[in-house]
């Protein structure tokens, strides 16, 4: 049986860890160090570290299994990794790039889980990227790890059809569950020597970068379909927002609707993009976009609680006629709540 060093950090890597811990032999865990969390900013171990401790307590992993959480992979860390004699590195959203010295510690190489159909959406945020692009399908790829990110040979692939209702959160959960079984099967085939790696075609590659809070600001000149995709892709983080007057308005759920159903959409000339046209008893709060009408279904004022559109309108009866994204006091908007750039994979 292979000796596996599992490297991962966020919640999405936990299903794979739990699956591999049952079906294979994990000799060590590598994860990111504790990070500040919540309003108290108290440092908390990563989800993978917490899951590994639970597996040790249950007896699924040996009590001697090391959980390494260095801020940087130094020679001391490499020595500790070498001491458990791993055959292969299994990585799922660890959050750091492995160099040649570290990869040389694994006689059978390293495999990486990437939630896209490589070479499409190489990079940090493939799940929201697929939703933003309104792709018809995405998936999970198990690849042989290479020094250049997401360029390794493909070892296994599973596709996920998209129907246009997925959020970043729901699609990541679905991808993580699918990846756990696919990764276990791939490790079985690696041990049996039956894998047939397929090189990626670099000419077909597309890329996605880090997400930043300011990426969530709605551009009302975009189409209703594109704005809906942005709201879904950035749920729950970094979230999407706009402004009504001088107040920040967070948008959690919306849906494009046919213009024929939207009162006010047939006006001539067409309303300015961002104009709140009014309410529809069935659809929600109607907003004109650059192409089509968007019905807002769940939204909230900054610092307040999210509300369904009917409850929200009880305290915002003057909203119809407002042009969202336009300040009324002549000053510039801030770029949104401060938050660091985030790279998921």
Q: What is the pLDDT of residues 286-313, one digit of tens each?
A: 999 999 999 999 999 999 999 999 999 9
Does 338 have pLDDT greater than 50? no
* Phi, psi of 7, deg, nearest 5: -120, 120
Mean pLDDT calculated for residue range 174-193: 97
CA distance 148 to 151: 6
Looking at every residue in the chain, the average pLDDT score rounds to: 92
Q: Where are the beta strands (DSSP E) in 162-239?
A: 207-208
CA distance 67 to 221: 49
Residue 258: the pLDDT is: 77
Residue 339: the pLDDT is: 42
Output the CA torsion 152→155→158→162 (10° steps).
10
Residue 337: the pLDDT is: 45
CA–CA–CA angle 316, 333, 220 (5° rounding): 65
Does 66 have pLDDT greater than 80? yes
Strand 247-257 and strand 240-244: pairing? antiparallel
Least confident of 15-29, 263-277, 310-324: 263-277
- Answer whether 20's CB lies under 8 Å from 6's CB: yes
Architecture of domain 213-314: Roll (3.10)
Does 244 have pLDDT greater than 90? yes
Residue 41: the pLDDT is: 78
CA distance 271 to 280: 17
Element (H, E) at 102: helix 100-103
Mean pLDDT calculated for residue range 91-109: 96
Residue 268: the pLDDT is: 62
Domain boundaries for CATH 3.10.25.10 within the chain = 213-314
Structure tokens that stand for 157 in this block:
């692939």
Q: Model confidence at 169, in pLDDT bands (50, 70, 90)?
A: very high
Does 263 have pLDDT greater than 60? no
CA distance 298 to 302: 13
Does 340 have pLDDT greater than 50? no
Structure tokens that stand for 313 in this block:
């309108």
- Answer whether 191's CB lies under 8 Å from 107's CB: no
> In this prediction, what percent of the chain has a pLDDT beyond 70?
91
Q: Model confidence at 261, in pLDDT bands (50, 70, 90)?
A: low
Domain boundaries for CATH 3.40.50.170 within the chain = 3-208
Mean pLDDT calculated for residue range 215-234: 97
CATH number of the structural domain 3-208: 3.40.50.170
């Amino acid at each position: 049986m292979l000796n596996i060093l599992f490297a991962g950090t966020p919640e999405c890597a936990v299903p794979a860890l739990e699956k591999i811990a049952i079906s294979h032999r994990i000799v060590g865990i590598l994860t990111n160090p504790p990070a500040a969390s919540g309003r108290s900013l108290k440092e908390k171990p990563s989800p993978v570290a917490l899951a590994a401790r639970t597996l040790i307590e249950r007896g699924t992993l040996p009590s001697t299994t090391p959980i390494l959480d260095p801020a940087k992979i130094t020679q001391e860390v490499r020595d500790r990794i070498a001491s458990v004699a791993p055959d292969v590195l299994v990585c799922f959203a660890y959050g750091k790039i492995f160099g040649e010295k570290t990869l040389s510690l694994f006689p059978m190489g390293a495999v990486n889980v990437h939630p896209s159909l490589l070479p499409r959406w190489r990079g940090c945020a493939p799940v929201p990227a697929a939703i933003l692009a309104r792709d018809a399908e995405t998936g999970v790829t198990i690849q042989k790890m290479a020094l250049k990110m997401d360029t390794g040979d493909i070892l296994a692939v599973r596709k996920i059809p998209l129907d246009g209702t997925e959020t970043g959160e729901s699609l990541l959960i679905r991808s993580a569950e699918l990846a756990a079984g696919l990764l276990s099967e791939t490790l079985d085939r690696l041990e049996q020597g039956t894998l047939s790696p397929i090189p990626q075609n670099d000419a077909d590659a597309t890329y996605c970068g880090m997400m930043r809070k300011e990426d969530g600001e709605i551009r009302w000149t975009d189409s209703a379909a594109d704005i809906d995709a942005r709201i879904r892709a950035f749920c729950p983080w970094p979230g999407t927002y706009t402004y009504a007057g001088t107040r920040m308005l967070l948008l959690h759920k919306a849906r494009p609707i046919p213009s024929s159903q939207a009162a006010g959409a047939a006006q001539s000339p067409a309303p300015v993009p961002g104009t709140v046209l009014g309410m529809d008893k069935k659809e929600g709060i109607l907003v004109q976009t650059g192409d089509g009408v968007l019905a807002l279904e769940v939204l909230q004022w900054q610092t307040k609680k999210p509300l369904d559109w009917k409850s929200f309108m009880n305290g915002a009866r003057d909203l119809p006629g407002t042009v969202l994204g336009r300040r009324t006091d002549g000053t510039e908007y801030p770029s949104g709540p401060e938050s660091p750039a985030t790279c998921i994979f």
